[in-house]
Structure 1
Amino acid sequence: MTKRKTTPVATGVAGLDEILRGGLPPSNLYMLQGAPGAGKTTVALQFLLAGVANGEKCIYVSLSQTKAELESIARSHGWSLDGIRVEELSASDAVSGATDQTIFQTAELRLDETRQAIEEAIEEHKPSRLVYDSLLEIRLITGDTPRFRRELLGFKAFLAKRDVVALLLDTQSGAAMNGEEVEGIAHGVIRFDKHLEDFGPVRRRIEVSKMRGVPIADGYHDMAIREGQGVVVFPRIVPGEERSAKPDLIKSGVEALDDMFGGGQESGTTTLVIGQAGTGKSTMASLYATAALKRGESVALFLFEERLETFFRRTEGLGMDLRTFHKEGRLVIRDFNPNEISPGEFAQVVQTIVEENKTRVVVIDSFTGYLNSLPNREKAVRDIQSLLKYLARAGVLTMLIVAQHGLLGQNVSLDVDVSFLGDTVLLLRIAEHEGRLRRNITVVKKRHGPHDLDVHELFIRSEGVSVVPYNPIPET
């Protein structure tokens, strides 16, 4: 008796394999469920191409798409179907073309001939991987639930004896017709969700709703379909283990500012820098970034509002030469179009950069712009909370720039509460005195250690940044 494989079978989608803790359990039948255009066929092709790359024989049984259509999908990503046997069948017409002369019911004959053609192809080619596209056609010609269920059980047993890993594509899921029967038969069920918000591109998610014997990362995970890449899945961030080492003090290079924080900000914490336009929020973050880079550390900056060249010119005007650090690779900058990135993808980008560069300081400028671009801000806040916990346990100082309403407004420009995200809150304000605007700076919160509660005045000049005790406006 041949010993069955135990090594997980790679799906061809790295993020999905991560969710599955390595891949699909071997020698089983799985379902991909989702609406048309959700990404099922693309993942099916990636699954077979991974098999071809591993030297395995693969079959794509198509009852709903022609071989030419499959080749067109593959070409759009720069792929070739070489090594994949495509069995193009029709469940709507009898395979033999002799149904007009039979005493059997047309549906039964079509089902029998379709099954026979598939089994013969499997026996001849002896594949390790198979895709069956789709169950909708089989559901239509069986006509009743018991027959449909028996058909799937028989097919599952046939594949199990031949040690084949199979993906069955289906457009129905959940409480839809026959959904529960199908899901009970399959060893695992992967669902694809596609929805269009009031603005922005189509949002896609993936959920492994069932997987026997695997401690999966359950729940929804963001995904996208990218030209040349196919389906890309972004697993939700899972914070690592808590660091036992004592946090370091991260300094800004401005002694008076560091004194306000009791000597500096702590690694593994999150700082909210809050203020209206022109108060110096981005300058504060740039100050800490510059100081870290001068110490030889790595910094990551994520821009959602300011253009990259504008950022460089602004900081150079304050004597901060960040362009050089960027060219050297120690300052990593990502300039995003907020409408084109999901919370899951953003979290994965941040995680990858931090791990690859051993980043010490992360700046998100601005967090307000990031949240305002997303249709579900409450969910985005929960997602960013997981990311911040991951960064904290990695010993990173994270600075979130949070804007306020208007030029001189006082209310934070968000309809969701983000104050709980910050271990430290740095408040910047503008006051007018005798025809001059004065910048005020205050540390209003610091969870760890002492901090200065006094209001100070902030000066931002071409020669640099300085902080001095605040001289109150005299009463008249």
Structure 2
Amino acid sequence: MESIVRCPTGIEWFDEITGGGLVRGTLTLLAGNPRTGKTSFVAKFLFKGAKDYGEPGIYVSFAETKGKFYVYMAQQGLNFKEIENGGLFKFLGASTVLDRDVLGHFLAEILEVVEKLEAKRLVIDSITPILQLASSLEVRSILHNALSNLANVKNLTIILVADLPFGESKVGYGVEEFIVNSVILLRLQYEPYRSLRRTMEIVKMRGTPILNAVYEYSIVPKVGFIVFVPLKTSEACVRPDVKISTGVKGLDEMLGGGLSKGSSTLIIGSSGSGKTVLALTIAAEAAFKGLNIVYINFEELKSHLEHSLRGLGYSYEELESRSLKVVPHLPHVMPSGALRYHLHQVHVMRGFDKDLAIIDGLAALKRFYDEAAFQQILEEVISFLKYHGITAIYCMAKVDPLAKTAWLINSSDNVILTDMKVEGNRVHRKLMVLKSRMTQADDRVYELCFVDGRLTVKVEEG
């Protein structure tokens, strides 16, 4: 039985989910609305093919000039001038005004360049002008005779780019079932006041079992097209016998000696009730104990967090020199898969091996994503960190009624509730443990205050 040979695209995670890339020597239809990143996808396919695998490639453009293409792709870290000078790339500009005679001559020119360059990869961007020349039956005949045979004879991997009008979400050119081996659909999802979401659907790929057909993706400066895959999770690696001290006087006792290694703790409370102050104190004290910490915040700028740490009596520069990494994120410019991607880069790819991860400002993240997307990403992150044995703390503004966050409470090992009350000219901040999975919860109400300049929890008086 003949085995399937793959053509790696070089696109992060795409090759992993497809079992090695596209099927070599076949045609792929890549369709999408304007601004979905179709050109970014195929450009990386050609560039990585030349740069990483030594495979010459050809880009046929019906719209973009060579100069503009080179400039735009350089912004994504793809230096096409370099691979062109190395004899591994050819840009072919095509007229958008086509008739069948011109098309025949143009296909012959492509064949000539393929043979001269000994190309292994070919992109036509886009085939929409070709599809508009004749009926779908005639188009299938032209594409089959010219391109399918070319792919078979030359073992050439070809991507055909097709434009979909705004509002159209289905591929309906009549060629996908008859000509191409694979169909990939790129979509943009717009929601008022929410982050733009890009999704990639693998509609079909013959000979390839696809477990999850829809994935988020993004186009990152200096990186280009990347696919976000669900974080790999497995059995949780929680160590109840190993405790991490919070460094907050009185809080360790409430939690039965501290936070169990690999556990997840949710700090939930009203605005101004001390969630961030508590989280920053835990991060700072952990850094002084030699632990590696990443602090991700979706609401505060890095300069604001540095100022808050100084207000608590800590030197940010000293904490940073020890082991604290502060990472602010802006949800409105970040796709919902980016947090997963960042955590994977920090904890797996770069090998930082963090002991403690604190994710603050979840309410800001929630405002930019629908409930389903927010829940999916957070559940994956919680499982991911547990799988890697990383102790995690999540901070979120309280939602009334509390039952609306039941899924998050159920996913957390510990739940700490903070609250604020104004009495006269004083602000009283309170704290209680709603849940402690590893130990018996202390159900008393505590006061969160400063004693001798240190954040402390003590039993509420009266």
Aligned counterparts of 2:251 and 2:66: Cα–Cα separation in 1:
66
Partner of 1:467: 457
Q: Work out whether 1:56 is the aligned partner of 2:55.
A: yes
Aligned counterparts of 1:247 and 1:37: Cα–Cα separation in 2:
52
Partner of 1:34: 32
Q: Work out whether 1:354 is the aligned partner of 2:352.
A: no
**Unaligned 5+ residue runs, structure 2?**
none
Contact 1:134/1:170 (8 A) holds in 2: yes
Contact 1:91/1:114 (8 A) holds in 2: no
Q: Work out whether 1:376 is the aligned partner of 2:376.
A: no
Query: What displacement does 1:427 show?
Result: 0.7
Cα distance 1:344–1:114, how it changes in 2: closer, same or farther (>3 A)? same
Partner of 1:295: 289
RMSD over equivalenced CA pairs, Å: 2.9
Partner of 1:234: 228
Aligned counterparts of 2:439 and 2:416: Cα–Cα separation in 1:
15
Query: What displacement does 1:64 show?
Result: 4.2
Aligned counterparts of 1:441 and 1:76: Cα–Cα separation in 2:
49
Q: Work out whether 1:452 is the aligned partner of 2:442.
A: yes
Contact 1:293/1:331 (8 A) holds in 2: yes
Deviations 1:328-381 (A, max 9, x none): 4x2111112221111201111122222321112111111112212x14233122
Partner of 1:342: 335
Residues 357-436 of structure 1: pairs in structure 2 closer than 5 A: 357-372=352-367, 374-404=368-398, 418-433=408-423, 435-436=425-426
Aligned counterparts of 1:397 and 1:87: Cα–Cα separation in 2:
53
Greater Rg by CA: 1
Amino acid at match of 1:85: K
Q: Work out whether 1:114 is the aligned partner of 2:102.
A: no
Partner of 1:124: 116
Aligned counterparts of 1:243 and 1:299: Cα–Cα separation in 2:
18
Aligned counterparts of 1:325 and 1:413: Cα–Cα separation in 2:
37
Partner of 1:103: none
Query: What displacement does 1:201 show?
Result: 6.1
Aligned counterparts of 1:248 and 1:187: Cα–Cα separation in 2:
53
* TM-score, scaled relative to structure 2: 0.87
Partner of 1:165: 157
Q: SS of the counterpart of 2:80?
A: coil
Contact 1:325/1:331 (8 A) holds in 2: yes
Query: What displacement does 1:327 show?
Result: 2.9
Contact 1:347/1:384 (8 A) holds in 2: no
Query: What displacement does 1:282 show?
Result: 1.3
Aligned counterparts of 2:179 and 2:406: Cα–Cα separation in 1:
43
- Please identify, of 70-79 and 165-174, the stretch whose mean Cα deviation from structure 2 is larger: 70-79
Residues 172-187 of structure 1: pairs in structure 2 closer than 5 A: 172=164, 175-179=170-174, 181-187=175-181
Aligned counterparts of 2:96 and 2:428: Cα–Cα separation in 1:
77
* TM-score, scaled relative to structure 1: 0.84
Aligned counterparts of 2:236 and 2:271: Cα–Cα separation in 1:
36
Cα distance 1:183–1:324, how it changes in 2: closer, same or farther (>3 A)? farther
Aligned counterparts of 2:338 and 2:212: Cα–Cα separation in 1:
17
- Please identify, of 69-78 and 190-199, the stretch whose mean Cα deviation from structure 2 is larger: 69-78
Aligned counterparts of 1:193 and 1:416: Cα–Cα separation in 2:
32
Cα distance 1:350–1:177, how it changes in 2: closer, same or farther (>3 A)? closer
Aligned counterparts of 2:383 and 2:162: Cα–Cα separation in 1:
37
Partner of 1:333: 326
Partner of 2:7: 9
Partner of 1:97: none
Query: What displacement does 1:460 show?
Result: 2.5
Identity in percent = 24
Q: Work out whether 1:437 is the aligned partner of 2:397.
A: no
Q: Work out whether 1:259 is the aligned partner of 2:253.
A: yes
Aligned counterparts of 2:64 and 2:425: Cα–Cα separation in 1:
72
Amino acid at match of 2:114: I
Query: What displacement does 1:462 show?
Result: 5.9
Deviations 1:175-199 (A, max 9, x none): 44335x4145322222211233323
Partner of 2:89: 84
Amino acid at match of 2:397: A
Cα distance 1:85–1:296, how it changes in 2: closer, same or farther (>3 A)? same
Contact 1:5/1:27 (8 A) holds in 2: no
Cα distance 1:247–1:207, how it changes in 2: closer, same or farther (>3 A)? farther
Cα distance 1:190–1:175, how it changes in 2: closer, same or farther (>3 A)? closer
Partner of 1:100: none
Q: SS of the counterpart of 2:158?
A: strand
Deviations 1:112-145 (A, max 9, x none): 333333333323332111112222122111x222
Amino acid at match of 2:436: K
Partner of 1:323: 317
Contact 1:378/1:416 (8 A) holds in 2: no
Contact 2:238/2:260 (8 A) holds in 1: no
Partner of 1:212: 206
Aligned counterparts of 2:211 and 2:313: Cα–Cα separation in 1:
47
Aligned counterparts of 1:447 and 1:89: Cα–Cα separation in 2:
65
